[in-house]
């Protein structure tokens, strides 16, 4: 039986997108031999340009993109795949763009499945969230986004499996940010000012280009909202009570230059928080959903060093899932929650899941 050719249209060739292409090129033979799946990239794009290569990009794709990419609109991409009669389509959103999300529904209507590292579609107003899912059902398409929470960790999948098995999830709590995990893990164990650790996290690329994005708590809030919606809770982003780590005199309203030179203002309040907590306790920045009280919170808490959260190392994420069956003992998922390699691998896992579904559908049609 000939291999199933799967056509991946990739939006975004930054850190995650470019790593994904290279991972596929490296493992292409392996997927052919073990899964009978032939993954191709007939179109790759950045925010303004697209490179069209019907047979799929080869090893020298960066040079080819630089030479031959042209300006594009989504309509050009839809037209191209129809003209070339490309089937088994997966649109992969490896951007952080708000614009591309507006095209998700037109893409579904034109035969595409979607895999997204981009969190935005799942955190917009519930009207859009529900409309997207109505279209998925109507056009019998798949939308996977495991990397929206915890990069390559199987968080969304685990919560989905529990929810669809009828399990009652009572609480979800955890450290959802790799950058803030790193900062507070070091701050708890070392006698170094908060601002020094923050600067080092920025330097090694753990934070967003403007670390106020991380410290605002909005990213943790988005991840918590995604999980809450996975278990049927109709929350909006505005419903989350976010206790930002930014200071009134050092927040989003100040210029980036101002923020850059005044980071030492963080040192005193965080040092006070550190020395006034109970013995053998450490600070952790967590997101928490309490299903019974319908509360979504993002906040700085103090936990025993001996607890699962208290023992976190490096930039790891840790998510605790409390359920009726498991009682007081949570299911714990822990591991690297950031990084281009693990995120790209998580996206690739989602692509292969869609490819397996396409294989089943093709077998049914035959």
Catalytic residues: 223
CA distances from 161 to 33, 158, 167, 230, 303 (A): 29, 5, 9, 10, 29
Q: How many CB atoms lie within 10 A of CB 140?
A: 10
Residue 146 in contact with residue 154, Cβ under 8 Å? yes
Q: How far is CA 144 from the centre of its chain?
A: 11
Q: What is the CA radius of gyration of the chain?
A: 22
Contacts of 255 (CB under 8 A, 6+ apart): none
Task: Find, among 323, 352, 319, the residue nearest to 151 by Cα.
Answer: 319
Task: Find, among 31, 34, 33, the residue nearest to 6 by Cα.
Answer: 31
Find the length of the chain.
366
Residue 286 in contact with residue 223, Cβ under 8 Å? no
- Calpha distance 91→111 (Å, rounded): 10
- Calpha distance 305→136 (Å, rounded): 45
Beta strands in 24-175 (DSSP E): 37-45, 49-52, 70-71, 89-93, 112-116, 143-144, 169-175
Q: Return the H-helix or E-strand segment holding 6.
A: strand 4-11
Instruction: Say if strands 49-52 and 70-71 run parallel, antiparallel, or are unpaired.
Output: antiparallel
- Calpha distance 243→220 (Å, rounded): 11
**Partners of 116 in the beta sheet?**
93
Helix (H, G, I), strand (E, B) or coil at 46: coil
- 64-67-68 Cα angle (round to 5): 80
Q: How far is CA 340 from the centre of its chain?
A: 11
């Amino acid at each position: 039986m000939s291999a199933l050719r799967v056509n991946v249209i990739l939006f975004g060739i930054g850190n995650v997108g470019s790593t994904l292409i290279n991972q596929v090129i490296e493992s292409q033979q392996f997927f052919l031999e073990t899964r009978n799946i032939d993954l191709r990239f007939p179109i790759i794009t950045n925010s303004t340009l697209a490179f069209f290569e019907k047979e799929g990009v080869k090893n020298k794709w960066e040079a080819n993109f630089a030479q031959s990419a042209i300006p594009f609109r989504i309509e050009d991409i839809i037209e191209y795949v129809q003209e070339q009669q490309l089937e088994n389509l997966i649109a992969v959103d490896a951007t952080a763009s708000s614009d591309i999300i507006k095209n998700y529904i037109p893409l579904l209507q034109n035969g595409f499945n979607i895999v997204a590292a981009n969190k935005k579609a799942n955190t917009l107003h519930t009207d859009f969230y529900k409309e997207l899912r109505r279209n998925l059902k109507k056009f019998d398409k798949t939308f996977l986004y495991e990397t929206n929470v915890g990069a390559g960790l199987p968080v969304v999948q685990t919560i989905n499996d529990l929810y669809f098995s009828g399990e009652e999830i009572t609480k979800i709590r955890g450290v959802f940010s790799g950058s803030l995990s790193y900062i507070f893990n070091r701050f708890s164990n070392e006698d170094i000012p908060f601002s020094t650790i923050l600067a080092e996290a920025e330097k090694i690329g753990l934070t967003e280009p403007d670390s106020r994005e991380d410290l605002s708590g909005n990213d943790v809030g988005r991840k918590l909202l995604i999980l809450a919606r996975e278990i049927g809770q109709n929350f909006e982003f505005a419903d989350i009570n976010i206790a930002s780590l930014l200071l009134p005199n050092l927040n989003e309203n100040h210029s980036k230059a101002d923020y850059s030179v005044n980071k030492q203002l963080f040192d005193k309040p965080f040092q006070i928080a550190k020395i006034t907590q109970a013995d053998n306790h450490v600070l952790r920045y967590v997101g928490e959903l309490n299903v019974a009280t319908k509360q979504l919170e993002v906040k700085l808490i103090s936990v025993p060093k001996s607890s699962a959260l208290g023992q976190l190392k490096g930039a790891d994420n840790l998510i605790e899932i409390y359920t009726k069956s498991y009682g007081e003992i949570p299911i714990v998922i822990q591991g690297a929650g950031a990084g281009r390699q693990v995120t790209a691998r998580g996206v690739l896992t989602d692509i292969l899941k869609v490819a397996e579904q396409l294989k089943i559908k093709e077998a049914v049609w035959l």
